[in-house]
Amino acid sequence: MRNRTLSREIALKILYSWEISAETITLCAKKYWDNNKLEEETVVAFCEYLLKGVDKYKIELDEKIAKAALNWTISRMSCIDRNILRIASFELLFTIDIPDKVTINEAINLAKKYGDKDSGRFVNGVLDKVKTYGKISGVFQSE
């Protein structure tokens, strides 16, 4: 598995833990790294980059996702779909060195692996709309 693919998958697991535990993202990440063999430094760095981005911009991300997901509220989405959308929306809106096509494809693959039978199509549809919003000021390169 490629490093960034693995980073996204770990970020999803940590965000899932965060949602079901009501602990901070930082604490959930610490617990994950304490209980799992640390991956390559680049895997950890990109995962932490995604987690910090989702944590910092959660309100903006949720607004964009809700706007793009017609007839859906954030709270009505499955925890898995919601957090895949947050990770990918952060990449689409705030990161300049990852092609949109790559971000969306990675998100669809995560949705197919961890979501239900309709998650891949749902994630694809929402992200196709999110990408049209363009980059938000303060964009930066991934680490």
Domain span at residue 7? 3-133
Mean pLDDT of 84-94: 96
Band (pLDDT 50/70/90 cuts) for residue 135 is confident
Instruction: Name the more confident of 64 and 1.
Output: 64
- Tell me if 65 is assigned to some domain: yes
Contact 140, 53 (CB under 8 A): no
- In angstroms, the CA 30 to CA 36 distance is 10
- Tell me if 119 is assigned to some domain: yes
CA nearest 65: which of 137, 109, 135, 127? 127
- Tell me if 142 is assigned to some domain: no
Q: What is the pLDDT of residue 51?
A: 97
- Tell me if 8 is assigned to some domain: yes
pLDDT digits over 11-63, tens only?
999 999 999 998 999 999 999 999 998 768 889 999 999 999 999 999 999 99
Is the pLDDT at 94 greater than 60? The verdict is yes
CATH number of the domain within which 18 lies: 1.10.940.10
* pTM of the shown model: 0.92
Q: Which residues pair with 95 in a beta bridge?
A: 140
Domain count, the chain: 1
- Tell me if 107 is assigned to some domain: yes
